[in-house]
Structure 1
């Protein structure tokens, strides 16, 4: 299996197989492989989580896709949930590792463990950005992103910018420095984060490549440029993190991809609020989830009248 290895339980229809994703640097990640249950495979999907969100949050959506024939891989980034080391303090994992190492290995596993079919990515928040960091991302046929951005504070909604700045760019680095990792779970904010991830988020600048050593920046930009699969980026009007400006900034790195973006309001989907996380809740199984199949299966934008100008 090359640099991605898998250890699977006996498969039971409708239930996922537990897998271990082995990265090139030897780090092992926990995940699940959801086999399609229809006998034909319209595509193979990797779900990239948001920062500090355990992969189990996306399991209902993965099961939804598998019931419609897709082969789906969910996994936790290093330092998170099933991929958390025994001691998180001082482990040194960085945001960039999630793309360069973790996603890369997950994609290798998907290719080696599933039947032929289009290779698809569903990326939530940072998960819609970090695919371009992997040197095998050119193998992706199509990508759906939801609230994709890389957390530069000036892109936050201006009405909530101060609150979010104090939370993520003042409190988070201070607590990380004190604890050796970010104790997000104790605060009820998100999963605990490795210090490298928390500090990279806290001190992220306008240009994402500036967090990489100067000698590596050209290579980082080249990897994003090699991604040529079409992208449909979903934003929602009450998402204070992934504003239209943040979405545009992220898509600009995928400069050779055919990308489109749509901006949905809660009312478009029959709800009062959506925010940054809601679209992966199963209350959307009969609406947004069904609509997302048009893009994943057929490459068709389900919301042509909601286009966001890029």
Structure 2
């Protein structure tokens, strides 16, 4: 059964979640979206997991997707960190209230901001998909120049002339989001320590407190999350036993996976089965 739920964050902002109930649930899996990606993009994976004994929750961050409204628009979403501190936090709390072990799959920024949630310490297992700490110097030439120009010129310029940033037009997602968030994201990407830089004054204590195993899955053809950036992100989870699994599309008879391809159901019988097996092992 698939149902919609409004979850209220600590600052009274509502966000819309979709709950995929399993007939025989062994746990609840949260799927946290990449920037500019609506929750319904993850529906195929959510259905697959729910058919295999896990409840699944997807959600749209405030001011995006189904969580857009006058009450939680740009004015209440001036900080990208709210997505971790308040939105992911509220979804974890909601999931814990269902009385089952809670697992987490973070796609791209969904993994990056996990440590901003104080309840992340309660998760049973953490999996990152194409999640990294992007900084232009960690790309090889000439991609590093492209990233430098994107973060320091393209993103700031477009975000100042438009109130909503055309992520969809640029091929970076399937929805536009408030430009104020893109300006902040560009600043993060311009710092060698990404969001972990002291100049952003974020409460990073949660990253130190996470001790669960983290499996970080990357792809050799993902130009947005190269291996060194993936490993850089994991370095900010110093007390977690983390592991990187880098997959070449050829290993799964695919021509391309890239940054978002993992969630295509053509990978149901290999990549998704591997994730399912891991989660069931952790559940025992």
The CA deviation string for residues 268-295 of structure 1, in whole angstroms up to 9 with x for no partner, is 1111111111001111111111111122
1:30 aligned onto 2:13: no
Distance, in Å, in 1 between the alignment partners of 2:139 and 2:250 is: 22
State the shift of 1:107 in Å: 0.3
Partner of 1:305: none
**Count of residue pairs brought into register by the alignment:** 278
Aligned partners of 1:51 and 1:125 also within 8 Å:
yes
Residue 92 (structure 1) shift: 4.0
Instruction: After superposition, give the CA deviation of every residue in 1:49-105 in whole Å (9 maximum; x if it has no partner).
Output: 111110110011000000001011100111211112349555543221110010000
Report the TM-score when normalising by structure 2. Answer: 0.91
Aligned counterpart, 1:7: none
SS in structure 1 of the partner of residue 56 of structure 2: strand
- Cα RMSD for the two superposed structures: 2.0
Partners of 2:199 and 2:49 lie apart in 1 by 35
* TM-score normalised according to structure 1 size: 0.83
| 2:122 aligned to which of 139, 142, 145 | 139
Change (3 A) 1:272 1:173: same
Once the two structures are TM-superposed, the CA of residue 211 in structure 1 deviates from its matched residue by: 6.5
Separation (CA, whole Å) in 1 of partners of 2:16 and 2:198: 27
Does the CA-based 8 Å contact 2:62-2:73 persist in structure 1? Answer: no
Q: After TM superposition, give the deviation of residue 169 of structure 1 in Å.
A: 3.7
* Alignment of 1:20 onto 2:6: yes
1:185 alignment partner, SS class: coil
Say if 1:93 and 1:195, in contact at 8 Å, map to a contact too: no
Question: Which sections of structure 2, spanning at least 5 residues, go unmatched?
Answer: none
Equivalent in the alignment of 1:56: 40
1:12-58 superposed Cα distances (whole Å, 9 cap, x missing partner) = x3xx1101111001111111011112x2x232100011111101100
- Which consecutive unaligned segments of at least 5 residues does structure 1 have? 1-12, 301-310
Shift of residue 163 of structure 1?
Answer: 2.9
Equivalent pair of 1:91/1:194 in contact (CA under 8 Å): no
CA deviations 1:174-200 (Å, max 9, x no partner) are: 111111331323555422122332012
* Whole-angstrom distance in 2 between the partners of 1:155 and 1:59: 32
Equivalent residue, structure 1, for 2:55: 71
210, 213, 216: which one aligns with 2:197: 210
